[in-house]
Amino acid sequence: MGYFNPIYRYGCERFCKDANAAGIDGVIIVDLPPEEETELTAHLNDLKLIRLIAPTSDYARLPVLCKSASGFVYYVSVAGVTGEKSADMGALQKQISHLRGFTKLPVAVGFGIRTPEQAAQVAKFSDAVVVGSALVDVLAISGEDAAIAFVKELAAAL
């Protein structure tokens, strides 16, 4: 996950070649719109281009975003900075259901999922759940053993 400028400066062809050689499966490039992706997608080979879709994504834009996605679609469950808010499960379920009308790819949901209970709720209507900031917080505050225990709690909830 990153931004396009470092990839562009490195060279799209070189980046994709090196990423493939390193065993990278997919990339999330948060600031690369579909209209500007050709320079990168021409060199992806086996790399998947995973699209972020946010609750603020216009419904008219969803077909464009989903068309160029590969691997899976990563749905951002809350607007704003990751780790600061929790998702509204009812609204989120409706958004994911609507999104599925535009793609056959698996839908992963992340941002705003901080507890095993929330992960279990999201898993009922998504294909994958991403818990990032909460795990980083546990690791930073309580250490590796606590982080491992947290991951086990998440897994057990699913």
pLDDT tens for the chain, residues 1 to 158: 999 999 999 999 999 999 999 999 999 999 999 999 999 999 999 999 999 999 888 889 999 999 989 999 999 998 755 545 667 788 899 999 999 999 999 999 999 899 999 999 999 999 999 999 999 999 999 999 999 999 999 999 99
**Domain containing 32: what range?**
1-49
Same domain, 22 and 33: yes
pLDDT at 81: 56
Among residues 32, 49, 66, the one where a domain terminates is 49
Same domain, 148 and 83: yes
Same domain, 138 and 155: yes
Same domain, 106 and 68: yes
pLDDT at 43: 96
pLDDT at 58: 86
Domain count, the chain: 2
pLDDT at 65: 94
Same domain, 79 and 2: no
Name which of 45, 10, 8 is nearest 26 in CA terms.
45
DSSP bridge partners of 129: 109
3-state secondary structure of 5: helix
Sign of the CA dihedral running 14, 15, 21, 27: negative
pLDDT at 97: 95
Same domain, 25 and 91: no
Whole-number Å distance between alpha carbons of 110 and 132 = 8
pLDDT at 103: 96
3-state secondary structure of 101: coil
Q: What is the largest CA-CA distance in the chain?
A: 45
pLDDT at 112: 86
Same domain, 67 and 44: no
Same domain, 102 and 149: yes
pLDDT at 115: 94
Same domain, 36 and 59: no
For 78, the token pair is 């809350």
Distance of alpha carbon 41 from the chain centroid: 18
Q: What is the CATH number of the domain that holds 155?
A: 3.20.20.70
